[in-house]
Every structure is written in C-alpha cells, then in structure tokens.
C-alpha cells in the first residue's frame, strides 16, 4: 500500500500541543481523516483517530464517558476509578478507530505526515495561502455520487437475480413472452417474489 496524498490543516497558535489535523490517502482509494499532529517532548508525533471509551451506568444502563463523575441520564454518582489501566498505570480513556499494526507501518505513516506538515507550514507563510484539507471539490462529490449510483444498480441487479434464481436469466432477458411460464390462475408472480 502506498501513501498517495497527505492533507494538513494547521491549527492556529492556541497555546496547546495540537499542531494540526491531517488526512492520509492510500493508493488513491482509501482515506483516513482526523489524524492529529501533536507536539511532544521529543518533537512532533502523529496520533491516530480515536473515540472516547464509555461504560454503562449501573443504575439506568445509559452510556457515559469514563471520565464522567455522574451519569448523564439519571445523575447517579459513578465510580471515578472504573477505567482499565495500561502497563504504565495510566487510565485508558480512548480507543483508536484506525491504526497501524506494526512499528514499520507506523514509521512510514508518521514520516509522510510529518514531512507534509513541515511543507504545509512553509506554504502557510506564502501570500494567498489556502488550506487544502477541506478542499474536496465537486469532482470528488461527483465520483462519490457515481459510486453510490453504481452500488444501487448492483443492488437492483442482485435483487433481480434473487427473485428469479441464480441459474435463470431475469424474465425478458433471453426468453420471448410466449416462452414465459404463467400459472393457470393468471398470477404471473414468481414463487417467493414478495419475500425480501
């Protein structure tokens, strides 16, 4: 798999460690968004997109973030030490949505993202600078619309095949109307045609 594009959205100086958001495209086909570039003690690093971990209230069974002290639904006091802890003793409050599964892959992604981040910082100093992170123009939406259209067409073809069986062409495809079978009662629906 090859990284074919990295888009960076620089964060304005907000006195925090978050330096930018980015998206990474693989093989011009698959995009992962909302990676974060964070300033660490040893330099910038890439954090994968993640979601907050939750658990359920023991009283009303509603979901709550692990840092919540009270249930968002019923107000019951929650145990503040209910998060699982890693080997370093830190509470695990987030889970990655997408992430590399080995160090080599992580280094490839991080290297490409940090390089693109440095280039984007230089670009941002030029007059008339425009961020490309959210710049998905009409062409991308048109291609997305085409994909959705093709998915619906494939689904309709699949449904037609299911209705007529996998070993027979849909009615009218090859047989003439005189060759079609019509039951004696005049009902020309196929067996199971109303079942979905």
Give me the DSSP letters along 23-64: EEEETTTEEEEEEEEEEETTEEEEE--EEE-EEE-TTT--EE
Could you tell me the pTM of the whole model? 0.57
**Residue ranges of the chain with pLDDT lower than 70?**
14-15, 135-196
pLDDT for 139 equals 45
Whether residue 24 contacts residue 112, with contact meaning beta carbons closer than 8 Å, is answered with: yes
pLDDT for 177 equals 46
pLDDT for 46 equals 94
For the domain made up of 1-49+97-135, the CATH class stated in words is: alpha beta
Q: How far apart are CA 143 and CA 126, in angstroms?
A: 32
Q: How far apart are CA 36 and CA 27, in angstroms?
A: 21
C-alpha closest to that of 49 among 33, 28, 71, 37: 33
pLDDT for 105 equals 92
Range 39-43, long-range pairs (CB < 8 A, 24+ positions): none
Digit-coded pLDDT (tens) for 43-55:
999 999 988 888 8
Digit-coded pLDDT (tens) for 12-60:
776 688 999 999 999 999 999 999 999 998 999 999 998 888 889 888 9
**Tokens 């979905």 appear where?**
196
C-alpha closest to that of 97 among 157, 36, 43, 141: 36
pLDDT for 143 equals 47
Helix (H, G, I), strand (E, B), or coil: what is residue 21?
strand
């Amino acid at each position: 798999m090859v990284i074919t594009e990295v888009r960076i959205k620089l964060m304005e100086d907000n006195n925090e460690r978050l330096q930018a958001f980015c998206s990474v495209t693989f093989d011009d086909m698959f995009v992962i968004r909302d990676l974060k570039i964070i300033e660490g003690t040893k330099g910038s690093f890439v954090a994968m997109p993640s979601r907050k971990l939750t658990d359920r209230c023991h009283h009303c069974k509603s979901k709550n973030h692990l840092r919540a002290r009270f249930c968002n639904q019923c107000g019951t006091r929650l145990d503040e030490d209910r998060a699982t802890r890693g080997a370093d003793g830190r509470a695990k409050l987030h889970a990655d949505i997408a992430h590399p599964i080995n160090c080599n892959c992580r280094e490839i992604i991080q290297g490409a993202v940090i390089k693109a981040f440095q280039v984007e910082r230089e670009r941002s100093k030029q007059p008339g600078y425009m961020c490309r992170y959210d710049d998905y123009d009409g062409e991308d939406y048109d291609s997305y619309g085409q994909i959705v259209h093709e998915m619906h067409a494939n689904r309709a073809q699949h449904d037609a095949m299911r209705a007529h069986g996998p070993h027979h062409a849909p009615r009218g495809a090859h047989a003439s109307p005189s060759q079609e079978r019509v039951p004696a009662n005049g009902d020309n629906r196929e067996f199971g045609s109303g079942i979905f």
